[in-house]
Amino acid sequence: MALNRRQKWRAEKVQAERIARANKASEKAESEANSDGEEQKGRVVTRYGQRQLVESSNGELFQCTSRRNIDLSVAGDEVIFQPTDNDNGIVTALLPRKSELKRQEKLIAANVDQLWLVVAAEPKYQLDLIDRYLVVAENANLPIAIIVNKIELLDDLKDLHKDFLVYQNLGYELHFISVKDRLYLDDLKQQLADKTHIFLGQSGVGKSSLINELIPDLNIRVNEISEKSKLGKHTTTNTCIYKIASGGDLIDSPGIREFQLDNLSTKDILNGFIEFQPLLGHCRFRNCQHINEPNCAIKVALESGDIHPYRYNSYLRLIES
Ligand SMILES: Nc1nc2c(ncn2[C@@H]2O[C@H](COP(=O)(O)OP(=O)(O)OP(=O)(O)O)[C@@H](O)[C@H]2O)c(=O)[nH]1
Ligand SMILES: [Mg+2]
Ligand SMILES: [Zn+2]
């Protein structure tokens, strides 16, 4: 519904007031910054609105605003900041990023080394959704591994292993675990012992529970999934980075719901199927869509069994949606 003139005027006024307030706050913070602590390096733990929580090298937390000319930071960002009073401060510089993780054009984390796609026995994983997440993950150009959680709920793991064989054959590392019963966590722990890791996946699969388990003194709020709906409850609201005592860093992020899934371009989709990569450019037509064109390298690979029919159908579904 279009806003009428009066509503529009009101919205603009509110917006202008908001900007004026934010500018005033940064001016105040800036003048305080000039009279206070030394500039130091820190890392952004989480951001909320115009503020961010910055961790200093000795682990102290500061609530910071940013100097006006500085881009918004996200969890994982390295910054220069200046403490003002007590536990407040002002960010004066944003250091260059090693990597940026974006969803729907929105930056969600910085300086991530490894991406983990988390799925679960309940809410039950959907393979086409996994393919969709993998496309997003592949487009971030980061190493990806898959965690299947809550396996203690299954009587028989045979079907599970069969379902995930296609991913194993594609070279994705797989971990079948139960956070609840602490099954098969040791391997995982070792791999998380250094570098920065982010956990992505549907709401309710146990991302926060896993981080809680890996960082025992952490109090991430974990809610029970509503028994009836069998739908994940949206518990984590902010992307947040946590340090493991042994050295690595773990980033918890809010679960993705189906309606929030990224709009993927044809290029992203093609980029997202790792088994397609060596074949691209080998079709008869340069602009081949790999649907029903003659002499299509992808279709040839499909027919010879080098591309799994399931994955090819996922590709078709994504390209046609
Ligand atoms: N049965 C079982 N339940 C688990 C396991 N791990 C986590 N849960 C439960 O699953 C529910 C959701 O866990 P969370 O850790 O909040 O899930 P999340 O992925 O962080 O969800 P969002 O923050 O909404 O994205 C909680 O009730 C957990 O107790 C497990 O291994 N087995
Ligand atoms: Mg969570
Ligand atoms: Zn083709």
| Cα–ligand 3 centroid distance for 285 (angstroms) | 7
Decide whether any atom of ligand 1 lies within 6 Å of the 205 Cβ. Answer: yes
Assess whether the C-beta atom of 149 lies below 6 angstroms from ligand 1. yes
Q: How many CB atoms lie within 10 A of CB 80?
A: 16
Question: pTM for the whole thing?
Answer: 0.83
Q: Other CB atoms closer than 10 Å to residue 151's CB: what's the count?
A: 19
Instruction: Determine which residue's CA is closest to atom 16 belonging to ligand 1.
Output: 222
Side-chain half-sphere exposure of 123, counting CA atoms within 13 A = 24
Ligand 1 within 6 A of CB of 234: yes
Report whether pLDDT(36) > 70: no
The pLDDT of residue 222: 35
Range from 26-35, 84-93, 146-155, 192-201 carrying the lowest mean pLDDT: 26-35
- CA dihedral (34, 38, 40, 43) positive or negative: negative
Which ligand is located closest to the Cα atom of residue 179? 1
- Rounded to the nearest whole angstrom, what is the distance from the C-alpha of residue 63 to the centroid of ligand 2? 23
* DSSP at 222: -
Q: Looking at residue 246, what is its pLDDT?
A: 79
CB of 188 within 8 A of CB of 177?
Answer: yes
pLDDT at position 32 over 70: no
Instruction: Compute the distance from residue 150 Cα to the ligand 1 centre, in Å.
Output: 8
- Assign 231 a pLDDT band (cuts: 50, 70, 90): very low
Alpha helices by DSSP H, listed for 172-296, are 186-191, 207-214, 266-271
Q: With a 6 A CB cut-off, is 255 part of the ligand 1 pocket?
A: yes
Domains of the chain: 12-94 (2.40.50.140), 112-260 (3.40.50.300), 266-320 (1.10.40.50)
Q: State the pLDDT at residue 4.
A: 74
User: pLDDT tens digits, residue range 249-280?
Assistant: 999 988 876 556 677 889 999 999 999 999 99
CB 111 within 8 A of CB 77: yes
- Which tops the pLDDT comparison, 316 or 236? 316
Q: Are 76 and 86 in contact (CB under 8 A)?
A: no
**Rama region for 45: left / alpha / beta (φ>0; ψ in -120 to 50; rest):** alpha
What pLDDT does residue 224 have?
34
- For the stretch 119-167, pLDDT in tens is 999 999 999 889 988 998 898 889 999 999 999 999 999 999 999 999 9
* Confidence grade of residue 229 (pLDDT, cut at 50, 70, 90): very low
Closest listed residue to residue 214, CA positions, set 185, 240, 238, 236: 185
Q: How far apart are CA 238 and CA 240, in angstroms?
A: 6
Distance 300 CA to ligand 3 centre (A): 9
Alpha-carbon span 309 to 48, nearest angstrom: 43
Mean pLDDT estimate for the chain: 86
Band of pLDDT at residue 317, cut at 50, 70 and 90: very high
Predicted local distance difference test score (pLDDT) of residue 261: 66
Q: 111 CB less than 6 Å from ligand 1?
A: no
